[in-house]
């Protein structure tokens, strides 16, 4: 079952979701990745995720849920799927970049909301980690989405109360309920909590570091072909299985506690006390953690009134197993998430710290496990508010909130001293051109004109068809400035910017003029409707190679004016690069025109796209900056880096 599930998956799809990645970029890779094959992908995601989770790999289901949500949203934004007969006319209103981005963000939020039954946490997670830019309209849309998710979830839990839907209704809306009316902690409890935060920060940044290195190795293996991919997946799966079945033998049997209300020991059902080869009246504590689903393991670790359940050695073994297995399991071809493994791992060392502090603390071990999970989440994902709310919604313990905030503060601060957050690292390892929000310090030394490269491709307001075809065929640019030059005007005039997709549409319709003179009255735009320029699904976009034109048509002209965006965003060439990046990211742009500071000659000196702002590109042009002192302060361990 386990290997089948993986095989099936590896045979049909070759990409793998990174938790929320697809919604992050300011442009539409998300759509590029999701679209076209969306329906199939969502399906494979769901099946692959079920297989991976049920195979007891240390992986989470949140990632695939988010990916599924985002893909369904993306599907909606391209007007449904023609192949599967799922199209509606009203969906055409979403066929534009902004709505597509918004829908994908909403879809991801819905995924989180469904995975953790945390609707508010879903909204915040989508905004803090996934959305590349934020506006109040988007907040309202995501809130709407997750509210619907919450209501539907609640309704299904209601319908499932009779037990018809397996374990779905169990736990209700709160997955790991640790509520207790009289949680009390005092100042003496703060030092161990601070310690947890520091440990979480260090372990979290190390986790990110190792995962990053491993992903790069996996990339090398995966590039060699499907056979290697499947082999890798099988290898890790078999290794995981052997390890998990073998490990509980290390732990000694312990007598069942006398005062528990739970059944002890148990076989073949979820519970705190697993029998695993022990005599009656005894249980194996390591097996109680390992032979459960991840969710149940978390529940066991979080549970109160079980302070003596685990031995030090079992918890430590479980912690290191989870820590490394979750890293190894992430890179394989199955669609997996990071949230649950991180919570399991964090909870195990949290519980360990709780056991060490022991009776000196007012908090029970279960609450230490919650704080440990928070610290590890903070240390690897580096979010604040959204993690707070997600943990609150998962555990329903509001009284613990000040401590959770403290732990998150400390672990994030510690971890930020070493490296970046896990999603950024994964995106870099995967090679996605993700543009960070903040400007690197060396960007303050550069002006925009320092990074403008290459010959600028301009179009005249009334341009020869052959020219357009030539430029489109020989370059890969997606936007072109449109200039009116003499004799159309006295001096060169910046008219606007036109997109490649729109040019191809124009060429396909062959709305040509025979002379370069503007005909009074006749307007080519009347031949087009807004739908002609609607955003297509990425698989379906028109390509210039498909346009066939005669020699005669090549000599004709197009009036670009009605189709040009006359409101291009511009920066002066002396603009600081850091400020230009801020503008680019805050407003969510794709193209930015660079205009000269001097009032003479061409009104445009260059065009900037996301590619031009990528640190690799800038440092490639200005290699001296690599060694400049203008770097972000970050602790580095060269020996450790050399090791890999």
Q: Using CB atoms within 10 A of its CB, is residue 42 exposed (0-12), middle (13-18) or buried (19+)? A: buried
The piece of 20-28, 67-75, 149-157, 536-544 that touches a copy of itself (CB under 8 A) is 149-157
Which position among 66, 114, 408, 462 is part of the footprint of a copy of itself (CB under 8 A)? 408
Residue closer to a copy of itself by CB (options 118, 507) is: 118
Report the nearest approach of a copy of itself to the CB of residue 483 (Å): 9
The piece of 44-52, 224-232, 273-281, 579-587 that touches a copy of itself (CB under 8 A) is 579-587
Residue bearing tokens 């390509």: 543
Residue closer to a copy of itself by CB (options 153, 344) is: 153
Interface characters, 364-393, with a copy of itself (x: CB under 8 A): --------------------xx--xx--xx
Asked if 335 interacts with a copy of itself (CB under 8 A), we say no
Structure tokens at 548: 């066939």
Report the nearest approach of a copy of itself to the CB of residue 413 (Å): 9
| Helix (H) or strand (E) run with residue 608 in it | strand 606-608
Asked if 234 interacts with a copy of itself (CB under 8 A), we say no
Strands, DSSP E only, in 404-476?
459-460, 462-464
Residue closer to a copy of itself by CB (options 466, 492) is: 492
Among residue numbers 172 through 201, which ones bind a copy of itself (CB under 8 A)? 172-174, 179, 181, 186-187
Assess contact for 330 and 59: CB atoms under 8 A: yes
Check residue 127 and report its DSSP letter. I
Residue bearing tokens 């059902």: 269
Residue closer to a copy of itself by CB (options 58, 462) is: 462
Closest CA to 218 of 329, 321, 56: 329
Report the nearest approach of a copy of itself to the CB of residue 576 (Å): 4
Residue closer to a copy of itself by CB (options 486, 531) is: 486
In angstroms, what CA-CA distances link 169 with 173, 271, 362? Answer: 8, 17, 33
- Maximum CA extent, the chain: 98
Report the nearest approach of a copy of itself to the CB of residue 494 (Å): 5
Asked if 158 interacts with a copy of itself (CB under 8 A), we say yes
Residue closer to a copy of itself by CB (options 468, 592) is: 592
Residue closer to a copy of itself by CB (options 333, 608) is: 608
Which position among 466, 492, 516, 615 is part of the footprint of a copy of itself (CB under 8 A)? 492
590 vs 610: CA distance, rounded Å = 6
Interface characters, 421-460, with a copy of itself (x: CB under 8 A): ----------------xx--------x-------------
Assess contact for 144 and 73: CB atoms under 8 A: no
303 vs 298: CA distance, rounded Å = 8
**Collapsed DSSP state (helix, strand, coil) of residue 283:** strand
Helix axes 365-381, 190-222, angle to 10 degrees: 50
Which position among 1, 136, 268, 636 is part of the footprint of a copy of itself (CB under 8 A)? 136
Q: Which residues pair with 480 in a beta bridge?
A: 498
Count residues binding a copy of itself (CB under 8 A): 80
Report the nearest approach of a copy of itself to the CB of residue 579 (Å): 5
Asked if 20 interacts with a copy of itself (CB under 8 A), we say no
The piece of 30-38, 136-144, 225-233, 313-321 that touches a copy of itself (CB under 8 A) is 136-144
182 vs 65: CA distance, rounded Å = 35
Assess contact for 338 and 422: CB atoms under 8 A: yes
Which position among 150, 233, 315, 338 is part of the footprint of a copy of itself (CB under 8 A)? 150
Residue closer to a copy of itself by CB (options 278, 499) is: 499
363 vs 305: CA distance, rounded Å = 11
The piece of 85-93, 309-317, 488-496, 555-563 that touches a copy of itself (CB under 8 A) is 488-496
Residue closer to a copy of itself by CB (options 262, 485) is: 485
405 vs 375: CA distance, rounded Å = 9
**Collapsed DSSP state (helix, strand, coil) of residue 282:** strand
Which position among 123, 196, 287, 608 is part of the footprint of a copy of itself (CB under 8 A)? 123
φ, ψ at 86 (rounded to 5°): -105, 75
307 vs 301: CA distance, rounded Å = 10
Which position among 579, 590, 617, 622 is part of the footprint of a copy of itself (CB under 8 A)? 579
Structure tokens at 528: 């087009």
Report the nearest approach of a copy of itself to the CB of residue 259 (Å): 22
Among residue numbers 596 through 635, which ones bind a copy of itself (CB under 8 A)? 596-603
The piece of 13-21, 127-135, 280-288, 504-512 that touches a copy of itself (CB under 8 A) is 127-135
459 vs 10: CA distance, rounded Å = 46
342 vs 347: CA distance, rounded Å = 8
The piece of 18-26, 66-74, 144-152, 214-222 that touches a copy of itself (CB under 8 A) is 144-152
Assess contact for 65 and 306: CB atoms under 8 A: no
Which position among 112, 427, 507, 595 is part of the footprint of a copy of itself (CB under 8 A)? 595
Among residue numbers 516 through 575, which ones bind a copy of itself (CB under 8 A)? 566-572, 574-575
Residue closer to a copy of itself by CB (options 148, 549) is: 148
46 vs 60: CA distance, rounded Å = 12
Assess contact for 6 and 233: CB atoms under 8 A: yes
Report the nearest approach of a copy of itself to the CB of residue 317 (Å): 34
Angle at 498 between CA 105 and CA 31, to 5 degrees: 25
Asked if 482 interacts with a copy of itself (CB under 8 A), we say no
Which position among 104, 120, 301, 338 is part of the footprint of a copy of itself (CB under 8 A)? 120
């Amino acid at each position: 079952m386990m290997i089948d599930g993986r095989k099936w998956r590896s045979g049909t799809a070759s990409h793998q979701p990174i938790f929320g990645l697809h919604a992050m970029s300011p442009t539409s890779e998300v759509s590029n990745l999701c679209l076209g094959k969306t329906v199939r992908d969502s399906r494979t995601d769901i099946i692959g995720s079920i297989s991976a989770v049920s195979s007891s790999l240390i992986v989470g289901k949140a990632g695939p849920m988010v990916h599924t949500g985002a893909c369904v949203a993306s599907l909606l934004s391209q007007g449904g799927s023609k192949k599967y007969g799922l199209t509606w006319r009203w969906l055409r209103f979403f066929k534009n970049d902004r709505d597509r981005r918004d829908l994908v963000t909403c879809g991801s939020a819905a995924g989180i909301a469904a995975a953790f039954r945390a609707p508010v946490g879903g909204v915040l997670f989508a905004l803090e980690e996934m959305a590349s830019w934020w506006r109040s309209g988007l907040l309202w849309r995501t809130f709407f989405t997750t509210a619907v998710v919450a209501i539907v979830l609640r309704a299904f839990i209601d319908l499932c109360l009779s037990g018809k839907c397996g374990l779905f209704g169990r736990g209700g809306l709160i997955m790991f309920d640790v509520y207790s009316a009289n949680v009390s902690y005092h100042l003496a409890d703060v030092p161990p909590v601070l310690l947890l935060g520091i440990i979480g920060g260090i372990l979290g940044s190390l986790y990110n570091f190792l995962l990053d290195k491993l992903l790069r190795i996996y990339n090398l293996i995966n590039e060699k072909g499907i056979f290697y991919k499947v082999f890798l997946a099988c290898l890790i799966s078999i290794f995981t299985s052997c390890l998990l079945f073998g490990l509980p033998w290390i732990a000694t049997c312990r007598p069942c506690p006398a005062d528990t209300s739970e059944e002890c020991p148990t076989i073949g059902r979820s519970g705190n006390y697993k029998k695993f080869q022990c005599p009656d009246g005894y249980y194996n504590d390591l097996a109680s953690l390992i032979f459960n689903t991840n969710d149940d393991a978390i529940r066991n670790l979080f549970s109160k009134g079980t302070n003596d359940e685990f031995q030090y050695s079992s918890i430590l073994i479980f912690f290191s197993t989870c820590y490394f297995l979750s890293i190894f399991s992430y890179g394989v071809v199955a669609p997996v998430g990071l949230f649950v493994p991180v919570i399991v791992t964090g909870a195990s060392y949290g519980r360990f710290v709780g056991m060490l502090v022991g009776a000196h603390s007012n908090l029970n071990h279960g609450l230490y496990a919650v704080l440990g999970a928070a610290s590890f989440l903070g240390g690897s994902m580096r979010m604040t508010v959204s993690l707070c709310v997600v943990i609150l919604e998962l555990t329903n313990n509001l009284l613990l909130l000040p401590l959770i905030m403290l732990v998150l503060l400390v672990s994030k601060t510690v971890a930020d001293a070493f490296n970046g957050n896990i999603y950024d690292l994964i995106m870099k390892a995967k090679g996605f051109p993700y543009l960070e929000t903040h400007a690197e310090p060396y960007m303050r030394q550069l002006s925009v004109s320092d990074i403008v490269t290459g010959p600028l491709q301009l179009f005249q307001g009334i341009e020869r068809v052959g020219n357009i075809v030539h430029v489109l065929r020989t370059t890969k640019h997606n936007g072109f400035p449109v200039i009116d030059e003499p004799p159309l005007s006295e001096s060169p005039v910046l008219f606007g910017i036109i997109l490649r997709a729109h040019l191809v549409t124009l060429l396909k319709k062959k709305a040509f003029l025979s002379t370069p003179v503007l005909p009074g009255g006749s307007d080519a735009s009347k031949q087009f409707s807004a739908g002609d320029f609607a955003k297509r699904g990425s698989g379906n976009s028109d390509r210039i190679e498909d346009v066939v034109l005669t020699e005669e048509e090549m000599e004709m002209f197009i009036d670009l004016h009605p189709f040009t965006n006359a409101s291009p965003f511009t920066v002066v060439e002396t603009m600081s690069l850091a400020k230009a990046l801020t503008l680019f990211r805050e407003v969510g742009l794709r193209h930015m025109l660079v205009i000269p500071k001097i009032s003479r000659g061409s009104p445009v000196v260059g065009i900037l796209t996301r590619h031009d702002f990528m640190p690799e590109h800038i440092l490639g042009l200005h290699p001296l900056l690599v060694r400049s002192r203008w770097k972000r302060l970050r602790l580095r361990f060269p020996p450790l880096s050399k090791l890999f």
